[in-house]
Amino acid sequence: MKELLYLKDDQLKDLIEKIFVGYRETFSDSKKILDKYSIGLAHQKVIHLLSMYEGISISKLLAKLKVTKQSLNRVLKDLIKLEIVVFKKDEIDTRIKHVYLNEKGKKIFEEIFLLQKKRIYNALLDSSSEEVINFDKVLKKIING
Amino acid sequence: MKELLYLKDDQLKDLIEKIFVGYRETFSDSKKILDKYSIGLAHQKVIHLLSMYEGISISKLLAKLKVTKQSLNRVLKDLIKLEIVVFKKDEIDTRIKHVYLNEKGKKIFEEIFLLQKKRIYNALLDSSSEEVINFDKVLKKIING
DNA sequence: TATAATATGTCAATATAACTTACCTATAAT
DNA sequence: ATTATAGGTAAGTTATATTGACATATTATA
């Protein structure tokens, strides 16, 4: 096993560099839109998650972002000022707060996402379905490692 | 083409989230070692590149990192204080400064890399060579998109 | 019912990494 | 001689995150 080319240090280093660059590029394409609304990368990530997980709770957002609640709170306050998020208390357990993007928020997300997804979309369009499936598989394994 | 499942917005969102998480996890495994030397993520990235591209010039480092030279300089000064980098002027064009890790630097890199590579190594070990090759292919396309 | 755990919020101080703007030297290329 | 390139630096600022401490409300449990 160990003699496999891609398990050699040089290949691992190369992959790690690519993971970094891939992330950075994927999250920088939409910078102009973020600037337009005077928000940053942290806000983009929260908006992204809110669009994926409608009504997600604060604690689940924290778990996904892996930041402190103080840090998340700063971002949420900015999104409240922008008037793009709404909250609803859980009907059963009222300690839990569910977070949603409102219509304005969804529109801003679409603006961001339109630019951000292009890079991924084009990469996948230029790949076979097997390549895409394998990309996803390995990425999952990296995450769950 | 557009009806392919993985080209739908929901799948693209999912992939983008994974790209973020994959990056974050890949660059957080070695935090304990970084703390030991009182350095951070920015230093880790520079050390990583120095280990990959021995004698890289300042401007090429800047191009790879996509940060300002003021930002890189702060990091390099810390690495100088740690006594792990050395510089050599280009023999032909003396404006160019080549940056190297010295022996101590290489050892510290290995300490960091030992922890960092585990996640990637295990993910690849758990994958077929085709999966790995396709992962690399798609990642390249994302970067060059 | 008393107590513990959970979900969330907030204050204050600090750290990390980056930025902008501006200006500087040295060297190389035209 | 002029311009371009490689690199350095100073001052101030911004973005994102941290730690630690403390607070409130609600739910779960002994």
Q: How far is B21 from chain A (nearest CA, A)?
A: 7
- B136 and A18 within 8 Å at the Cβ level: the answer is yes
- Please indicate whether residue B3 or residue B27 has the higher confidence score (pLDDT): B27
What is the C-alpha to C-alpha distance for residues A34 and A111, in angstroms, rounded to an integer? 9
For residue B88, is pLDDT > 70? yes
What is the C-alpha to C-alpha distance for residues B91 and B97, in angstroms, rounded to an integer? 10
For residue B138, is pLDDT > 50? yes
What is the C-alpha to C-alpha distance for residues A101 and A57, in angstroms, rounded to an integer? 13
Cβ neighbours of A120 in B, within 8 Å = 12, 15-16, 19, 142, 145
Amino acid at A58: I
pLDDT at A88: 98
Q: How confident is the model at residue A2 (pLDDT cuts 50, 70, 90)?
A: very low
pLDDT at B3: 58
For residue A14, is pLDDT > 90? yes
For residue A1, is pLDDT > 50? no
pLDDT at B5: 72
Dihedral, CA atoms, A7, A15, B12, A45, nearest 10 degrees? Answer: 120
Give the right CATH number for B15-122 from 1.50.10.10, 3.40.50.300, 1.10.10.10, 3.20.20.30: 1.10.10.10
Q: How confident is the model at residue A3 (pLDDT cuts 50, 70, 90)?
A: low
What is the C-alpha to C-alpha distance for residues A96 and A93, in angstroms, rounded to an integer? 6
For residue B2, is pLDDT > 50? no
Mean of pLDDT values over B51-71: 98
Residues 6 or more apart in contact with residue B18 via CB below 8 angstroms:
A136, A139, A140, A143
Beta bridge partners of A100: A86
Q: Where are the beta strands (DSSP E) in A1-145?
A: 56-57, 85-89, 97-101
- Enumerate the nucleotides of strand C whose atoms come under 7 Å of any protein CB: 6-13, 16-22, 26-29
The sheet carrying A56-57 orders its strands as A56-57, A97-101, A85-89
What is the C-alpha to C-alpha distance for residues A124 and A128, in angstroms, rounded to an integer? 8
Q: How far is B50 from chain A (nearest CA, A)?
A: 11
Give the right CATH number for A5-120 from 1.10.10.10, 3.30.565.10, 3.40.50.970, 3.30.260.10: 1.10.10.10
Alpha-carbon dihedral sign for residues B24, B27, B33, B35:
negative
For residue B142, is pLDDT > 80? yes
- Please indicate whether residue A4 or residue B55 has the higher confidence score (pLDDT): B55
